[in-house]
Each structure stands twice: as C-alpha cells, then as structure tokens.
Structure 1
Amino acid sequence: MPGKADVRRSVMFRSAVFVVLLCGLSNVPAGDAIWLNVPQTGTKCVSEEIQSNVVVLADYVVVTEDHGHIHTISVKVTSPYGNNLHHKENVTHGQFAFTTQEAGNYLACFWSEGHYQGPGELSVNIDWKTGIAAKDWESVARKEKIEGVELELRKLEGAVEAIHENLLYLRDREAEMRATSENTNARVTWFSVMSLGICIAASSLQIWYLKQYFQKKKLI
C-alpha cells in the first residue's frame, strides 16, 4: 500500500495539474460581445472564421436610448458557401444557433430597412459564442449529475479538446496555404519560361524577316 508521503505527492501533483489547466482555461476565449452600429440605410456585417463541426450560439438585441419608440432590424446569417442559416425581419431581438458544416467565414448581416428614423445609427449588441463557450454546462451537470471539481475538470477537458482541434485546424490551413503558394510559384515559373521562349522566338522571326527583306532589296 502506498504511504502517506506518496498519497500527499499524488494529491499535490493533481492539484498542480488542475491549477495549470485552470490557468489555460482562463486564456480560452469564452465568447465575444460585439457592439454594432447599424446605419439607417445600408447593411453592417460581422464575420468569423470557424472550422467545421463547431457549435455556434449567438444572441442579439437592439439597444436604443429612445424608449418611446420600438426600433426593429433584419438579420441574415450565411455560411461560407452562401447557405442561409438564419433569417429574421423586423425584430428587436433574437437568437441563432447551428453546428458548422463547412470551414470558412460565417457572415451575420444586420440592416434597419428604414424603420429607424432617429438621429445617428442604431446600436445592436451581439453575444457571439463558439465551441466550448457555447456549451450548456448546466444541462450537462444535471444530466450526468456532476458538480464542483468534477464539473470544472469536465470543462477543462472540453477546453483542451477545443485547443487541440484548433491547433489541428491551423496546421491543416497552414499546409493548404503552403501547397497553394508552391503551386502559384510553379505556375509563375512556367509562365516566365514560356514568356521568355515566346520573346526569343518572336525576336528570331523578326531578325529572319528583316534579313530576307534587306536581301530582297539588295541592301545586304
């Protein structure tokens, strides 16, 4: 059986690991709160680059100092390939939630369609959460009957998995960009060689034509 010293060292080690992971979790973004000024005419959009199979949850609400009137906006959220994920018109607040099917820039656009006639622009508050920040940990705790340190460890595990997935995504993107750069360099090289060959051929043909012309005129 392990002695008291071994048990104490094990507890201290686990505590240290917990503290390190907790510090790592504090550096993980928990979501973005965005203030967006929507003009009376035109559209204002926000976008975020998200990888596939990521949960996205966002709440938006119109904020105005004119409490005597109700001001509404229209909202449209699209995927990188133009698929419509959320579309509402003439609303004061709302929520959209989805799981990404493709990687790329997801776009959320807001416009007032002339419903707001007040001074200046219309303000919209957007609480945008992705990945681990969008998970409902209260439901998980009730469903799996966990709390306290065990719940915090589950959150840390989710954060570590999210960080690992982001690192893999960044690695894949870096490989794609490197492959694209190499293909572009190869194409530019072939284009340069072809351009040089065409110039040499055109110069040779021009010299031959001028030589024939001067010989025909008996100038040489």
Structure 2
Amino acid sequence: MNRLLFSVLLAAGLLFSASHALRFDLQSGHTKCIAEDIKSNSMTVGKYSIVNPSEGHPLPESHKLTVRVTSSYGNSYHSAEKVESGQFAFTTGEAGDYMACFWAPDHKPEATLTVEFEWKSGVAARDWSKVAKKNQVEAMEFELKQLQETISSIHEEMFYLREREEEMHKLNQATNANMARLSFLSLVVCLSVAGLQLWHLKTFFEKKKII
C-alpha cells in the first residue's frame, strides 16, 4: 500500500513539474523569461495570451508581445512579433533548459500587460494533441511541397535528357547516312581514277608497239 501511494505521488509530482500555468505582469519596454528543464525527444506545447483589461472591448494598441522560445544551445523553436496571443508545439532536439522570453514594446505612457502562459511537456503535453498535430501537419505539408518540387525538377531533367538523346540519335543517323554516301562517292572516284590510269597505261603500251 505504501509503495502504491509512493508511486502515485511520484507520478503526480512528475505531471506537476511538467506543467506550468501562470499569470504575470509585464511592463512595456521590459522582458520576462521563463525556463523549463525538458528531456530530449519530448513533446512540449505552450500557449500564451494577453488578458484584456476591458472585457467586451478590443485590446489597446500598446498591448502587444514579442515571444521567443530557445534551447540552452541557442536553437530557436518559436518566434512571434507583436502578437496578442499564440501557441507553439515541438519535439525537443536536446535535453536541457528551454527559455520562453516575452518582451513588450516601449510605450508612452508606460503600460502594464497581464499575460497568461501555460507550458506543458512530456506526459502532460498529450492533452494538447490537436496543437501538436496541427504543427506536425504543417511541417509535413512543407516537406511534401519540397518533395513535389524535387520530383518535378527530376521529371523536367529526364524529359530534357530524353529530348537531347532523341536529337543526338537523329543527328547520328544523319551523320551515318552522310558518311555512307561520302564513302560510296569516294569509292566511285577511286575506281574512276584507277580505270582512267589503266586506260592511259594501255594507250601508252599500244603506242610503244606501233613505234
């Protein structure tokens, strides 16, 4: 019983540590960063939004965010500029601290933004499978477009080579036909010259006998 209770508490602790939901204030012209220690090859998802200070009215122009999510190695996994809300989902490439930094542009007079941010990773991220699937589908669509362009380029190259091969084949046939005609003509000329020489020799010897 104690072992079972310990396992449940351990699992609950892991889920809690892998999920962060918080609300914080951010002054215009300032930056706030939140770090998350994530294992390699783990799914992580997050969403953020600015809380509207006046419900039923659009957000003020001063309420914009610039967001960056990077790894401890400096690799960028998410980037958004001057947005009111956003979300991200990716699979970590390396283990370590991942940093989500929020920056509010300068504004006069100074404005205070209230930001809601939720970040989940590992098992806790499974609840956001739709977000992950959307990002994965977009990535697959991009890869498929690249593959389609590559295939089209290969097809065009194949058609070009085939046309060149046909042109070369026709050229070779024409060249072979010309060579055959030239060879026949050369043979006729050689035989004519040889016959002419024989006729001259015959005439020469006949003249010698007469003398």
For normalisation by structure 1, the TM-score amounts to 0.48
Contact 1:73 1:111 in 2 (8 A): yes
**How far off is 1:65 after superposition?**
1.1
**How far off is 1:103 after superposition?**
1.4
Query: Cα–Cα, structure 1 residues 134 and 117, in superposed 2: closer, same or farther, change >3 Å?
Result: farther
What is the root-mean-square deviation of aligned Cα atoms in Å?
2.8
Q: Does the alignment pair 1:29 with 2:15?
A: yes
Corresponding residue to 1:99 among 88, 91, 101? 91
Q: Please give the per-residue CA displacement for 1:125-165, whole angstroms capped at 9, x wherever unaligned.
A: 111101000014888xxxxxxxxxxxxxxxxxxxxxxxxxx
Corresponding residue to 2:40 among 52, 60, 63? 52
Contact 1:35 1:125 in 2 (8 A): yes
Aligned-partner Cα distance in 2 for 1:106–1:54? 12
Aligned-partner Cα distance in 2 for 1:19–1:138? 29
Q: Does the alignment pair 1:108 with 2:96?
A: no
Corresponding residue to 2:79 among 63, 82, 87? 87
**AA at the equivalent of 2:15:** P
Q: Report SS of the residue matched to 1:135.
A: helix
Aligned-partner Cα distance in 1 for 2:93–2:21? 24
In structure 1, the gaps of 5 or more residues are 1-12, 140-220
Contact 1:43 1:109 in 2 (8 A): yes
Query: Cα–Cα, structure 1 residues 103 and 20, in superposed 2: closer, same or farther, change >3 Å?
Result: closer
Corresponding residue to 1:121 among 92, 108, 112? 112
Match for residue 31 of structure 2?
43
Contact 1:52 1:102 in 2 (8 A): yes
Aligned-partner Cα distance in 1 for 2:129–2:69? 27
**How far off is 1:105 after superposition?**
1.2
**AA at the equivalent of 1:135:** R
Q: What number of residue pairs does the alignment pair up?
A: 124
Larger C-alpha radius of gyration, 1 or 2? 2
Corresponding residue to 1:69 among 40, 59, 76? 59
Q: Please give the per-residue CA displacement for 1:52-72, whole angstroms capped at 9, x wherever unaligned.
A: 111110010111314453422
Identity level (%): 37
In structure 2, the gaps of 5 or more residues are 131-211
**AA at the equivalent of 1:33:** A
**How far off is 1:29 after superposition?**
2.4
Contact 1:76 1:110 in 2 (8 A): yes
Aligned-partner Cα distance in 1 for 2:22–2:7? 28
Contact 1:79 1:105 in 2 (8 A): yes
